[in-house]
Amino acid sequence: MEARCAFDCNKLAIFLPACAKLPMNEDVLRCCSLIGFGSWLIIMAHTAIADTFVFDPTTSSRVDLPAWMSDRPVAVAKDRAELSFPVTPSAEDNDIALTVVFNEEAGAYLSVFWQPEQGDRELLCGNLIENIGLPNQRTLLISRPTMGGPGKLILQSNTQFLNVIRVRIDWVRPGVVRLVDSAPNGALVMNGGKMFAPEEVDGSQLTAIADSWEGKILTTSITERAERIENGVVFPVAVPSHLKRARMEVMVNGLPLNGSLKVWLNGQAVGTLSFEIPDLTDPGYGESNDQFVGWRKGVLLLPSSRLVVGDNQFQFEGPPGTAIAIRDFLLQVQYASD
């Protein structure tokens, strides 16, 4: 499998809130820190509230349906549990961003299909689950040509239990932005600047991010997949020569919003990761104030002197008794000789 790009850019999609207007693009640019040359394909949500639909399968209250959804979502209890959403695309060339919040169950699958009114269902994602054994969140971008006309979006489990917590559907459309030449194009950007690489939203299995150079800065991937860390997993890193600067970033799931994650390097604590706070429109928020389901990026500027020439070992320490998973652990370095 090909490695992913180190910087989450490709096929940019932006979901503007209902009251937003197109001039907000300038703020989006500041948020993404992208100023330069070249064109970038962007997808933006309309300003109509009906372009977003959020569904909680456990709700018993009345659900207001948007005009493009002809009937309530339907849950089917059988050997392979299903939840389907009837969708009628508009005449415009709009895509769908489907975000699913779910509980992971050992050995289970959660697949996504599109089924046209006339025809067989098409598999869009074989399995959203990342095998971390924690509540999780994944987003899938579904193109307008894939849908064609009216049909159903279907979530299917390989067990009698669907384990879906919440579903959000956003309609998105293309736009244009500028970026520096060294930045790869293509990404999906949600409310609050949450950014995805195209490989994260195309339904394929996630792979390790590829190592890359940008000038004299090397970004290298330490992890190959998502994994649990609460039992003190060691991540070895070899450094060939002395460093001038070092920075790390990692995606984390399971850490409470009011929790902290300490980084240990070669047996010594070197700092605590700084985390972004997801936009309040994110479907990962739960009932309690400190509850969030999904991946958040943590970053830390490392003391370069603590990274010795030769073998190094990283470890993470979270709140006691808290199950935590990480993925996309990246180390960014500049060597002292540069």
Q: CATH number, domain at 110?
A: 2.60.120
**Cα distances (angstroms) measured from residue 214 to each of 3, 151, 164:** 17, 44, 40
Range in 20-24, 49-53, 193-197 with the lowest mean pLDDT: 20-24
pTM confidence score: 0.83
Say yes or no: 52 and 189 in one domain. yes
Q: What percent of the chain has pLDDT over 90?
A: 61
Say yes or no: 224 and 159 in one domain. no
Q: What are phi and psi of 27, to 5 degrees?
A: -65, -35
Q: Please count the other Cβ atoms lying within 10 Å of the Cβ belonging to residue 270.
A: 18
Is residue 35 a contact partner of residue 180, using CB atoms and an 8 Å limit? Answer: yes
Domain CATH for 272 = 2.60.120.1200
Per-residue pLDDT, 193: 74
Per-residue pLDDT, 25: 37
Distance, in Å, from the CA atom of 218 to the CA atom of 207, rounded to the nearest integer, reads 19
* Mean pLDDT, rounded, for 215-220: 92
Average pLDDT over the chain, rounded to whole? 83
Per-residue pLDDT, 172: 82
Per-residue pLDDT, 26: 35
Domain-ending residue, one of 167, 200, 233: 200
Parallel, antiparallel, or unpaired for β 188-189 and 135-142? unpaired
Distance, in Å, from the CA atom of 279 to the CA atom of 102, rounded to the nearest integer, reads 19
- Per DSSP, the residues of 88-140 read ---SS--EEEEEEEEE--TT--EEEEEEESSS--EEEES----S-SSEEEEEE
Per-residue pLDDT, 94: 86
For residue 8, pLDDT over 90 is answered with no
* Mean pLDDT, rounded, for 91-101: 90
Q: What percent of the chain has pLDDT over 70?
A: 81
* Mean pLDDT, rounded, for 105-123: 94
Please report whether residue 5 resides in a domain. Answer: no
Q: 43 by DSSP, 3-state: which? A: strand
* Mean pLDDT, rounded, for 209-225: 92
Q: Which is nearest to 188 in space by CA: 4, 14, 6, 5?
A: 14
pLDDT bracket for residue 38 (50, 70, 90): very low
Say yes or no: 176 and 245 in one domain. no
pLDDT bracket for residue 180 (50, 70, 90): confident
281-287: long-range contacts at Cβ-Cβ below 8 A with a sequence spacing of 24 or more?
281/17, 281/191, 281/192, 282/190, 282/191, 282/192, 282/194, 283/54, 283/99, 283/101, 283/137, 283/166, 283/167, 283/168, 284/101, 284/137
Please report whether residue 314 resides in a domain. Answer: yes
Per-residue pLDDT, 325: 98
pLDDT tens per residue across span 133-149:
999 999 999 999 999 99
pLDDT bracket for residue 237 (50, 70, 90): very high
* Mean pLDDT, rounded, for 304-322: 96
Domain-ending residue, one of 140, 165, 200: 200
Please report whether residue 188 resides in a domain. Answer: yes
Per-residue pLDDT, 318: 97
Q: Tell me the residue range of the domain where 259 lies.
A: 212-335
Q: Which is nearest to 248 in space by CA: 272, 266, 281?
A: 272
The better pLDDT of the pair 196, 231 is held by: 231
